[in-house]
Amino acid sequence: MAFGLSLVERINRARADLRLGVPIVLSGPTGAAVVMAAETATADRLDALRAPCLVLAITRYRAETLKARPYDGDLARIIVPHDGGLSWLRAMADPADDLRHPMKGPFLCARDGKADLHRTAIALVKTAQLLPAALVLENPPAGLIDGAELTELPFGLLADALAQETQLSPVVNARLPIVASQAGRVHIFRPRDGGEEHYAIEIGQPDRAKPVLARLHSACFTGDVLGSLKCDCGPQLNAALAQMGQEGAGVLLYLNQEGRGIGLANKMRAYSLQDQGFDTVEANHRLGFEDDERDFRIGAGLLRQMGFAQVRLLTNNPRKVAMLDTHGLKVVERVALRVGETAQNAHYLATKAAKSGHLL
């Protein structure tokens, strides 16, 4: 069975399928369910799935915006109406036109039976960085999936597998002199689950026996690369590296968790909603996401793997401090990082302080 796929490998295949618009199958002892991401569904595949019990699973945040009943607490199961076509589906998943077409209901929401399968379907779609909305057809007719060669996942093992801490392996490291320091070194780490690679920029040779000046920086293409004035990421990145350069030692983790973990496409959807007047937290919620979808365990794991046990953490985000503390890193000091305030990001920073607990 050398070529038999492990669960992690199958989950990754499923993720790629969902991005392609290909359905996947979740199977358990009581039967199977077909799952397809709303964002990438095609008209013919939606028609193939059509049945009276076809459900669109969305998170409670999206349900609140749509005024649908989240009977399952954290999610709602909306029965797909018989005339609900692709444009209905897209409008349910994507809030871009909510303001132009505010009333999409009334909706019929399922409340019988369990929602575990739907919860897992949404979690899978999220990890594919698609809009968090999934079509779920339980007990599909045999003819629909037989011979279709769809990726099949054992439903019972999925929730645990998805919640597991990402294991990262070092790939390579090489010297990289940068403006902040001649003694820079970039390390590349690759997750064993086929997900995003993450990077560590080590400045100097930090003493592993002492607290290291550290930053967990989340990727921000718009801020780090383009010099966006909507956030403070670019100046924070440069200021953190500059301080490490001045002190002669430090480590900056560049975590590929763009858009607080929702991916660049979804972040730009959030920006488009911000253009309609919503703040950064409201925009995430209207899309159906939590305000922060990042897994900070990745940063903790990387620091531990690099031999660090204590940090002086450059951040204004108390959640980062708390997460490191609970995952084996002692934060001996929080070092404030307040740079890059502009007229354009004042509201964004104020929202993070008011709603996400950021320290001023």
Residues belonging to the binding site are: 215-220, 231, 233, 236, 258-260, 280, 315, 320
Residues 286-325, mask of contacts with ligand GTP (x by CB under 6 A): -----------------------------xxx--x-----
**Can you point out the beta strands (E) in 68-110?**
75-79, 109-110
Strand partners, 246: none
Residue pair 122/67 in contact (Cβ under 8 Å)? The answer is: no
CB of 251 to ligand GTP, least distance (A): 14
Residue choice 115, 218, 244, 252 for contact with ligand GTP (CB under 6 A): 218
Active site residues: 292, 294
Which residues sit in the known binding site for GTP? 215-219, 236, 258-260, 280, 315, 320
26 binds Zn ion (CB under 5 A): no
Q: Does 270 bind ligand GTP (CB under 6 A)?
A: yes
Shortest approach of ligand GTP to residue 280 CB, angstroms? 4
In the list ligand GTP, Zn ion, none, the entry touching 218 (Cβ below 5 to 8 angstroms by class) is ligand GTP
Give the closest residue to 221 by CA, choosing from 210, 213, 209, 231.
Answer: 231
Q: Under a CB-based contact definition with an 8 Å cutoff, are residues 59 and 75 in contact?
A: yes
Q: Does 117 bind Zn ion (CB under 5 A)?
A: no
Closer residue to ligand GTP, CB minimum distance, 117 or 239 = 239
Sign of CA dihedral 321, 322, 325, 326: negative
Instruction: Kindly list the strands in the beta sheet with 198-203, ordered across the sheet, starting from the edge strand earlier in the chain.
Output: 168-175, 184-191, 198-203, 250-255, 212-218, 310-314, 330-335
CA 228 to CA 257: how far, in whole Å?
17
Residue 183's beta-bridge partner residues?
none
Q: By rule CB under 5 A, what count of residues binds Zn ion?
A: 4
Contact string 84-123 vs ligand GTP (x = CB under 6 A):
----------------------------------------
